Amino acid sequence: MKWSWKIARIAGIDIYIHATFLLLIYLVGISYWNQLGTMAAVVSGVGYILALFFCVVLHEFGHSLTARRYGIQTRNITLLPIGGVASLEKMPDDPRQEINVAIAGPLVNFVIATLLYLYLKVTNNHAAAEPLSLTEGSFLFRLMIMNIFLGLFNLLPAFPMDGGRVLRAALALRMDHARATQKAAAVGQFLAVGMGLLGIMYNPFLLFIAVFIWFGASVESSAEQLKSILGHASVRHAMLSEFHSLSPEDSLARAVELTLAGSQKDFPVGYQNKLYKVLHHSELIKGLQERGERARISELPLQDILHVDVNEPLGTLLERMKENPAQMICVTEGENVVGVLNLENIVEMIRIQEAVESHHRSRKQ
C-alpha cells in the first residue's frame, strides 16, 4: 500500500503502518491535550490507542496464521486508522476454510476480552469504566470493552469486514463464487447506506465507516469479477493480431500515412519480425515538428518495448504493466512477433467478456 512504512517483522510477516494512522495518533493526542491539558493524559490516551492496535495486530495474525494452516501465506499486515488489513496471497477456494480464516480474527478479540475479564476479576479491579480515568484497572477495562466491540464490529456482514467474507463463503456453499460475492457486496452496501444515514443524524464517525464499507464492497465485487474474467484469459485473447509495424528506415511520412489510415496510434519498430522499439504517437508528433516528415524513424529517440509471451496470463501481465500502464507491448510466440497489446485492448476484452457473462447469468436465472 502506498504511504506505508514497515515497522516490524513477526513470524515472517512484515507489518506496515499507514501514514493516516500516525494522523490518528496525533488527533487522539491533541484531543486529550485539549480536554485535560496534561502530558500524562496525552500519554495515557495515545498509549490506549497503541494497546488497542496491538490487539488489532493480534486479530490480523488470527487470520494470517489460520490461512497458513491451509498453505496460504500473508504478504504483509498494514495498520490503518480503521483497523488492520492482512493481505493474504489469496483467500482459500474452499468456502469452509474461508469461513475459518475470516472468523479467526474476531475470535482473537473475544479471547483477549475474556482473558482481560478473568484478569480483572482475579485482581478485583472490575470497576465500571470511567471514561478518561488514568488508573490501570480502567485502562484494561476499556481495552476489554473495545475488544468486544472490535470482534462484533468485524462480524458485520459487509465487505471489507470479516463478517462480509463469512457471508460470502456461506453463500458460496450454494452458488458460484462470483455471484456469492455480488450478493454479499449488495448486502454490505445496503448496510452502508443505513449506517450512513445514522451517521448523518448521530455520529460523523459512523458516516466515515459507511463510506469505507461502501467502497470496500464495490472494490471486492469488481475485483472478483475481474479475477473470474482474467482467470482463464491469456495475452492471446486480448492482443491485436492485425497491426502495422515500421522499419527504422521508414520516413515519418509513412508513419503519418498509417496513423491516418487506421486506428493504430503507436507502432512497433524493427527489422522484419524482430521488433525492438516503439514509436509512440506523441513522439511522432514531436518528430514531425522538429525534423519534418522526411526524417527517418531511426533518427527519433525511440523507447524500448516490453515483450511478453503469447501464453502469459493477463493477470500477471497487468501486474507488470502497473509501472507504466500507457505502454505498448509486443507479443511474441517463440522467435516471432505475433501481436501487439495495450491497456485499451485489455479493457476492451474485459468489457466484452463482462457482457457475455452477464448474458449467461441472466439466462441462468
Q: Tell me how far, at minimum, the Cβ of 163 lies from Zn ion, in Å.
A: 9
Q: What gap in Å lies between CA 79 and CA 60, rounded to an integer? A: 10
Which CB sits closer to Zn ion, 161 or 340? Answer: 161
Q: Helices in 8-94 by DSSP H: which ranges?
A: 19-36, 39-69
Question: Which residues have C-beta within 8 Å of that of residue 173, sequence separation ≥ 6?
Answer: 95, 96
Which CB sits closer to Zn ion, 191 or 235? Answer: 191
Which CB sits closer to Zn ion, 85 or 317? Answer: 85
- SS3 category, 71: coil
Q: Tell me how far, at minimum, the Cβ of 63 lies from Zn ion, in Å.
A: 6
In the complex, the residues that contact Zn ion under the rule CB under 5 A are 105, 154, 162
Q: Tell me how far, at minimum, the Cβ of 2 lies from Zn ion, in Å.
A: 22
Q: What gap in Å lies between CA 106 and CA 102, rounded to an integer? A: 8
Cα-to-chain-centroid distance, residue 83: 15
The type of residue at 165 is R
Q: Tell me how far, at minimum, the Cβ of 59 lies from Zn ion, in Å.
A: 5
Q: Tell me how far, at minimum, the Cβ of 105 lies from Zn ion, in Å.
A: 3
Q: What gap in Å lies between CA 230 and CA 315, rounded to an integer? A: 6
Which CB sits closer to Zn ion, 162 or 224? Answer: 162
The Cα angle at residue 253 between residues 247 and 259, in degrees rounded to 5 = 85
Which CB sits closer to Zn ion, 217 or 331? Answer: 217
Question: In the structure grid, which three cell numbers stand for residue 339, read together?
Answer: 501481436
DSSP 150-179: HHHHHTSSSTTSHHHHHHHHHHHTTS-HHH
Which CB sits closer to Zn ion, 110 or 276? Answer: 110
Question: Which residues have C-beta within 8 Å of that of residue 45, sequence separation ≥ 6?
Answer: 28, 29, 31, 32, 132
Position of minimal CB gap to Zn ion: 105
Q: Tell me how far, at minimum, the Cβ of 217 lies from Zn ion, in Å.
A: 16
Beta strand 74-80 with 83-88 is antiparallel
Q: Tell me how far, at minimum, the Cβ of 57 lies from Zn ion, in Å.
A: 11
Which residue, among 144, 220, 128, 138, has the nearest Cα to 183 in the 3D structure? Answer: 220
How many residues are recorded in the chain?
Answer: 365
Which CB sits closer to Zn ion, 105 or 339? Answer: 105
